[in-house]
A and B are shown apart, each in its own frame.
Chain A
Amino acid sequence: MFRKVLVANRGEIAVRVIRALREMGIGSVAVYSDADRTALHVRLADEAVRLGPAPSSESYLRIDGILEAARAHGANAIHPGYGFLSENADFAAACDEAGITFIGPSAESIRRMGSKTEARRTALAAGAPVTPGIDHAITLAEARQFALEHSYPILLKAVAGGGGKGMRRVDTAHDLDSAFRDASSEAERAFRNPDLYVEKLIERPRHIEIQLIGDRHGNMIHLGERECSIQRRHQKVMEECPSPLVAGHPEMRREMGEAAIRAARSAGYYNAGTVEFLVDQQRRFYFLEMNTRLQVEHPVTELVTGLDLVKLQIQVAAGQPLPYTQENIDWRGAAIECRIYAEDPANNFLPSPGKLTRLSRPLGPGIRLDGAVYAGSTVPIDYDPLLAKLAVWAPTREEAADRMVRALREYDVGGIRTNIMFFRGILEDPEFREARLHTGFIEEFFQRYRPEAPSADVWEAAALAAALHTLSRAPAAAQSNDARKNAWLETGRNSLLR
């Protein structure tokens, strides 16, 4: 087993990995940018190394700096988390050359599955269903021809893509030229690669993905599916396990699991990975892409299977065989996760960085909170504004949803805006409760969502609190004698000054 592991990431995932390392008795080395000296992952680690200024390109994306830090601190392995360098084949290869274990798949697997078109070809060759499409970089003329053969709507996607960048839905021939141009230039900006490919668009699909874990001895199992259909701008914001659709059709888990394992095996895959599928209205599933890393939403799988994916990643990276076979894996109850972001749902989800003046976390039965903030910490403007992942477990989906509403009520973050109330709206939405999910769910939700107006009592409580607060904060000289004599105001003022 490793003696010491460097965590090449920040935020909640760095904290998540450091926690696993501590439980395993393995030393941890954090890395940080100038924006993160006081971040929780640095405070929790055994050792820490400054990488550089705040911009990722000068800190968390610096392969040389990270390898240098690993060498200087004697780390024998690197956990990349998600994002940043986690799906960078050059980084995985550089770790190998430096004699440091990359906790993830091989550079070759990352390369093969990282190219969307090559991943599609690999999946197809392995017998996994894919949507009709052209699996290589295309010209505008080829896109037009494809649309003639398969009819609109079609989907243009970036060959090097991810996260919805360089992606365009095209509904008519009239829109194709401009959509092609826009998608290509967006892909060029985001990935320095303007190449596009094309797929037939599946209407109102669900996004359901399969979690895989494999060792370096050829063993691979799946840990079931996650439903990630609740997305905004192609970014998942809420995930659950099991998928309510699959829960009603258990054969889907086996079929999708086996298809995912076949595709991953044919790419020589090991460690944790996720195969994403789109599922159409007839419950047919199509390979979408493979994520060659730990997913943000892994906690819902952990809650339902009882396994620790990060520990498994570390064990198999150290060369140990998987301690489980497929028959050992069991799914119990239901888990839901909400990604709590520093953003303002009332203002088009504008990022809301800044200092957290207050923080009360939800507690009690069935709650899991993976976060990286504390009262007084600052959400920097330089990175993804994820504050925490709030996950709940309960015996049934209905109870998990009720529990999540309860947890969100207890969650109070001051000083910045968050999407906490937005999730309460979704969780109380009848369509969500009836599990009529698809990737356009949020757009439609906004059409029907009418936030409840505050009751007169709530309104008056707010007014009263504001009035008393203002009186207690008035300058001492201006205060009336009545107020001065009042013990409560003194106490209030003192506690505010603490």
Chain B
Amino acid sequence: MKLVIQINGAARELEILEPGPNCRYRFAQAAERTANVELPEPGAYSILTNGRVYEARVEETPAGLVVLVDGHRFEIDVQDPRRWRSKAAGGGGEGVAAVRAPMPGKVVRVLVAAGDSVAAGQGLVVVEAMKMQNEMKAPRAGRIIKIAVEAGSAVSAGEVLATIE
């Protein structure tokens, strides 16, 4: 089964010839490899390959999979070209960008208004969580088309605070 793996933004093809526990697989243009894979705990994959042990912790998030191996963090999107499970790639320099709350909290201040031109990195909205105030910044330069919150609003993680054009 051929899959396209997006890891931290970079795409690579991975063909699973046989799933676990005695897994055979091949990365694009590379030789076939084998790995013994077990799932000793939910979300914890123990991988033996080339005589070495790797522990991969897999977590499902709304934005895709997060995989931790030896302290390294990978944001991964797995696409099966036959079954279209892809997501639109975001974060380009053009079009409309949304600034989202990274955590639940409360809006303490709104620093800009709709119609304002902002520079990349400029503070837009101050959100307080756990007694800490955090300034949400513009991901790039542009014009504010909408401020979706006001001072005092409670916001949940992922909620859109402002949109930039």
Contact = CB atoms under 8 A, between A and B. Distances in A.
A465 B157 contact: no
B59 A358 contact: yes
B115 interface: no
Nearest to B78: A470
B96 to A, nearest CB: 22
Contact of A351 (B37, B74, B130): B130
Interface in B39-57: 39, 41-45, 47, 49-50, 52, 54, 56-57
B71 A409 contact: yes
Q: DSSP majority for the B interface?
A: strand
Interface in B124-153: 129-132, 134
A464 B43 contact: no
A25 interface: no
Interface string A334-355: 0000000000101110111110
A469 B129 CA distance: 33
B52 A457 contact: yes
A488 B56 contact: no
B112 interface: no
Interface residues of A, number: 55
A467 B78 contact: yes
A218 interface: no
Interface stretch (A13-21, A127-135, A192-200, A382-390): A382-390
Given A347-B102, A463-B7, A464-B35, A489 B23 contact: no
A104 B27 CA distance: 63
Q: Which of A358, A463, A478, A495 has the most chain B CB atoms inside 10 A of its CB?
A: A463
B71 to A, nearest CB: 5
Contact of B67 (A352, A408, A421, A465): A465
B160 interface: no
A325 interface: no
Given A358-B57, A492-B20, A424 B5 contact: no
Contacts of A72: none
B19 A486 contact: yes
Contact of A463 (B5, B23, B43): B5
Interface in B68-111: 68-74, 76, 78, 80, 83, 85, 102-105
A366 interface: no
A227 B165 CA distance: 50
B54, B56, B71 interface centre (most CB from chain A within 10 Å): B71
Given A457-B54, A491-B39, 20 more contacts: A346-B73, A351-B105, A354-B104, A381-B129, A382-B130, A408-B71, A409-B70, A454-B72, A462-B69, A463-B27, A466-B65, A467-B14, A467-B25, A468-B19, A469-B58, A470-B3, A470-B85, A471-B1, A471-B16, A486-B20
Interface of B: 1, 3, 5, 7, 12, 14, 16, 19-21, 23, 25, 27, 33, 35, 37-39, 41-45, 47, 49-50, 52, 54, 56-60, 65, 67-74, 76, 78, 80, 83, 85, 102-105, 129-132, 134, 157
